[in-house]
Structures are given as C-alpha cells and as structure tokens.
C-alpha cells in the first residue's frame, strides 16, 4: 500500500498519540493522515492540538536577513556570527529532549547563558520549593482520587486546555465517582463556572494573602478583616470548610498568571496551605503550565550539568544564578551580543530584541522581525520521534513520527549538531558578564 502523498489507500487512524503542545502531554489522541499527508485529530485533543497537528508539511527555506539561502549557507553564517560573539546566549529551548540536550551542548561550546522562554513561572516554583518544600501528586493520582479542587488563576483553558475533562471531571476514575468533583475558581473574571464549581472573583495580586487566610481558617484561627483580595471572609471560610471535609483536596495554580513580582511568594503560600490541610485530610498541590517542555528542559540541564537553567556553561564548572542569568533581563540590558533561539514547539515566541539572532523555528512561527539567520526545523511528535516531560514531573512521554514525506524538515538536534561541527572544538573560557 502506498501511504505517500499520491497514495490510494490511507493508513488507519493512529491511537494513543501524545500531544507535545502543552505540559499536560495528553496521551489519548487519535490522529488520521489525510491523502495530502496532513494530520487531523479525530478523537480527544483540544482546539490547540487540532490546529497544530494540522500544520502542513511544506518545504521551507532558510533565510539570512530575509533572503532565502540553502541550509549549508545558513549554518555557515550562523557559525560566523557565534565565533565573533563575546557574550552569547542560547534560549527558547522549546524542543524535545534531544533538541534541548544538543542546544545545551552548543551553549557549553560557546560559554553561553542558557534559559527557557517560560522560565519565569518555572523559577517561581523552584524558589518556593527551596523555601517550603512541596506536597504534590501525579496527574493520575489526582484524576483517580481527588474530590475537591481549589484553583487559583485565570485562563485555565489556555494553559491546561483539557484540565477538566482529563483530571478534574474525567469520564472514568478508579477511586471516586467520575464526573462528580466540585470546587472553587479563585481569580479575576466573571461568567459561568463549570458544573460543580463556584467562581470567587479576586485580585490575584493578593494571592499570598488569600492563601495565608485560608491556612489560618483551616488551622482554626480567625484572620483579620472581613475581606481579603476582594473575597468576603465568609466565602473564604466556605472554601476552608470544603478543604477540611474533602477526602482528597487539591490546590492548583498556573504560575504564569500570578503577579510576576511575587509569584514565588504566592506559591510558598500555596505550599503552606497544602501542608496545613494535610493535618486533617489528604491534600495535594497541582502546579499547572510549563509550555514548550520547560520542565523537561530544566531536567536535561540538571542531569547533564548538575545545575538548573539560568546558568552559564563553558570551560569550567557551570555557573548558576537565577537572577543574574535571567535571559529576559540580559536582553533588556543589552548584555547579549548573539542569541540562538530554539522554538521547535509552541510556547517560545521570539523576543522583541535587536540582539543578533539565529532562530531555529517550526514553520509558521510568528517573527517580530527578520532574524540574522532563520532555519526552519521539524516539529517533534509530528515529523520525528522524541520525548517530552509531562507537567507533573514524573513521566517522560514518547513522541512518535506521524508523517513521512519527502519534504520533512531536519530536526532541531540535527541542525544544532551541524552547527557544532562548524565551531572550534575547544570550549571557550568563561567571560566576565555584568550583574543585571
């Protein structure tokens, strides 16, 4: 049978496909391949998955400052730019495990800073974990046992599109009645809440105070005042009572929607709230978000170099500093003179910077301007196999190659390896960089 672009017979739909387009990494998708070679989600999946799986497998040119060139010429130009750089950085890092690993190897060769596009929310959680520890659970345990959810934040449908049908109110569950979980949505906004949920409108800049007041109420104490963060204290008391009476409660949040200045303080308060609830019942924290395989990128950096992201790699011990090596701050301060940006998945929109950029991006990636070098790369989980880490941190899920055409683009890992081959073999010494 010919399953190519001109084939007569079409392959059967593929089942149990992993979606790489958010940190939930749903693994129940059914995908069909059309006669044109285009993919179509036929069961499960969200609107984002249906859009991104349907990306066409079209040939794409490399570009140097907007002019189309062959791949080898683009790689030569990229290597020349990096050889002349004094303070390079490797960012974005939205890719599968192999793509991230090769990007870090490039950073080591260059003596470059490494950071993920979504690291702000990632490091809110890491800093809070260092202070308070955390009591969390896997997606599977929460799906099968949790009967009450207290969810802080907004835009759950954007950051975790299938949260409710996969985890909160799944069609089947092992140790609870499926579809019966109840809870509260705490954050700005109005409108109808999902079945069984009550919306409590609140100002998320006061999230730490709201979570602290809930902890006091659970501990039998009386918080000061009659409102906190815009929520009446009697309403908050109902949330505390529900947590106390639940068999398995969950406190969930999306770090990307918390106030940037005090997101880590808010997550510390969530962690303390979970600990307080566990004095009388079972409760777990549920951090959500982490687009572009952010958690996976941090894991790869940790197991290869012994440090998290926001580090500088090179000839000598890796140097980690989550404030000094925050890439957004370095770019804003003009402290990077060459940036390699990896965006093979969604979740790594290009920074609006005048810093010279070498961009490895999936076709269709929006560009604020023509970068110095643009190299289109394949999408993991569509055009090549690989793996990504699920947002609960316990599973690396396999990605499959779903389409095969003569026009398939190179993987990010293969392009980065070819770029490494064009650079000097010896790591450069670490250079002094000003504190941000």
- 284 and 315 share a domain? no
Angle between helices 97-110 and 294-305 (to 10 degrees): 50
CB 374 within 8 A of CB 359: yes
β-strands 62-64, 39-43: how paired? unpaired
- 355 and 278 share a domain? no
- 192 and 260 share a domain? yes
337 lies in which domain range?
62-118+292-421
The domain spanning residue 385 has which CATH number? Answer: 3.40.50.740
Q: How far is CA 261 from CA 207, 256, 334, 379, in A?
A: 12, 11, 22, 33
CA torsion 188-194-196-202 (nearest 10°) is 0
β-strands 357-361, 373-376: how paired? parallel
Q: How many domains does the chain have?
A: 2
- 92 and 239 share a domain? no
- 103 and 175 share a domain? no
Question: How far apart, in whole angstroms, are the C-alpha atoms of residue 86 and residue 428?
Answer: 10
The pLDDT of residue 433: 42
Q: Of 36-45, 235-244, 284-293, 420-429, give the lowest mean pLDDT range.
A: 420-429
**Residue 15 in domain:** no
The pLDDT of residue 10: 59
The pLDDT of residue 195: 86
Q: How far is CA 370 from CA 72, 205, 436, in A?
A: 19, 37, 27
Q: Which residues contact 395 (CB under 8 A, 6 or more apart)?
A: 25, 138, 389
Residues 266-324 have pLDDT tens digits of: 999 999 999 999 999 999 999 998 889 999 999 999 999 999 999 999 978 999 999 99
- 113 and 127 share a domain? no
**Residue 43 in domain:** no
**Residue 432 in domain:** no
| Strand blocks (E) in 181-265 | 182-187, 197-201, 227-228, 231-232, 248-254
- 158 and 242 share a domain? yes
The pLDDT of residue 3: 46
The pLDDT of residue 407: 63
- 211 and 334 share a domain? no
Question: How far apart, in whole angstroms, are the C-alpha atoms of residue 223 and residue 227?
Answer: 9
- 234 and 336 share a domain? no
- 69 and 133 share a domain? no
**Residue 264 in domain:** yes
Question: How far apart, in whole angstroms, are the C-alpha atoms of residue 311 and residue 325?
Answer: 6
- 313 and 220 share a domain? no
Q: Of 146-150, 153-157, 217-221, 359-363, give the lowest mean pLDDT range.
A: 153-157
Residues 3-31 have pLDDT tens digits of: 444 444 556 789 999 999 999 999 999 99
When computed from its CA atoms, the radius of gyration of the chain, rounded to whole angstroms, is 23
In the 8-state DSSP scheme, what is residue 47?
H
94: exposed, middle or buried (C-beta count within 10 Å: 0-12, 13-18, 19+)? buried
The domain spanning residue 145 has which CATH number? Answer: 3.40.228.10
Q: How many CA atoms lie within 13 A of 15 on its CB side?
A: 1
- 183 and 131 share a domain? yes
Q: What is the pTM of this model?
A: 0.91
Structural domain ending residue among the three candidates 237, 265, 288: 288
**Residue 364: band (very low, low, confident or very high) from pLDDT cuts 50, 70, 90:** confident
| Strand blocks (E) in 77-202 | 88-94, 113-114, 148-152, 182-187, 197-201
Question: How far apart, in whole angstroms, are the C-alpha atoms of residue 314 and residue 297?
Answer: 18
Question: How far apart, in whole angstroms, are the C-alpha atoms of residue 413 and residue 99?
Answer: 4
């Amino acid at each position: 049978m010919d399953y190519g672009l001109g084939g007569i017979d079409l392959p059967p739909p593929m089942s149990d496909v992993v979606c790489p387009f958010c940190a939930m990494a749903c693994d129940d998708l059914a995908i069909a391949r059309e006669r044109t070679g285009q993919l179509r989600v036929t069961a499960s999946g969200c609107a984002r998955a249906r859009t991104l799986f349907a990306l066409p497998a079209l040939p794409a040119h490399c570009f140097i400052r907007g002019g189309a060139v062959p791949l080898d010429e683009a790689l030569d130009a990229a290597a020349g730019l990096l050889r002349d750089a004094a303070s390079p950085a490797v960012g974005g890092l939205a890719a599968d495990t192999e793509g991230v690993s090769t990007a870090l190897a490039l950073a080591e060769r260059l003596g470059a800073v490494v950071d993920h596009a979504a690291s702000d929310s990632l490091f809110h959680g890491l800093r809070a974990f260092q202070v308070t520890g955390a009591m969390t659970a896997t997606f599977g345990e929460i799906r099968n046992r949790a009967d009450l959810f207290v969810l802080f934040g907004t835009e759950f449908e954007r950051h975790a599109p299938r949260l409710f049908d996969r985890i909160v109110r799944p069609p089947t569950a092992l140790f609870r009645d499926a579809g019966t979980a109840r809870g509260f949505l705490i954050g700005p906004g109005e409108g109808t809440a999902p079945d069984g949920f009550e919306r409590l409108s609140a100002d998320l800049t006061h999230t730490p105070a709201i979570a602290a007041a809930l902890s006091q109420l659970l501990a039998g104490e009386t918080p000061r005042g009659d409102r906190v963060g815009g929520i009446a204290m009697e309403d908050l008391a109902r949330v505390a009572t529900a947590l106390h009476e639940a068999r398995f409660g969950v406190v969930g949040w999306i770090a990307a929607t918390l106030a940037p200045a005090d997101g880590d303080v808010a997550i510390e308060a969530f962690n303390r709230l979970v600990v307080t609830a566990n004095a009388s019942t079972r409760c777990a924290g549920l951090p959500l978000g982490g687009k572009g395989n952010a958690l996976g990128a941090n894991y790869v950096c940790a197991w290869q170099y012994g440090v998290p992201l926001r580090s500088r790699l090179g000839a000598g011990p890796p140097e980690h500093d989550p404030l000094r090596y925050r890439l957004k701050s370095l770019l804003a301060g003009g402290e990077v003179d060459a940036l390699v940006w990896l965006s093979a998945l969604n979740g790594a929109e290009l920074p609006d910077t005048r810093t010279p950029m070498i961009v490895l991006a999936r076709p269709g990636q929006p560009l604020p301007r023509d970068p110095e070098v643009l190299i289109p790369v394949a999408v993991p989980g569509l055009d090549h196999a690989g793996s990504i880490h699920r947002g609960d941190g316990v599973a690396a899920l396999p990605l499959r190659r779903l389409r095969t055409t003569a026009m398939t683009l190179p993987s990010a890992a293969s392009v980065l390896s070819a770029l490494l081959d064009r650079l000097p073999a010896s790591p450069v010494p670490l250079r002094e960089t000003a504190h941000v």
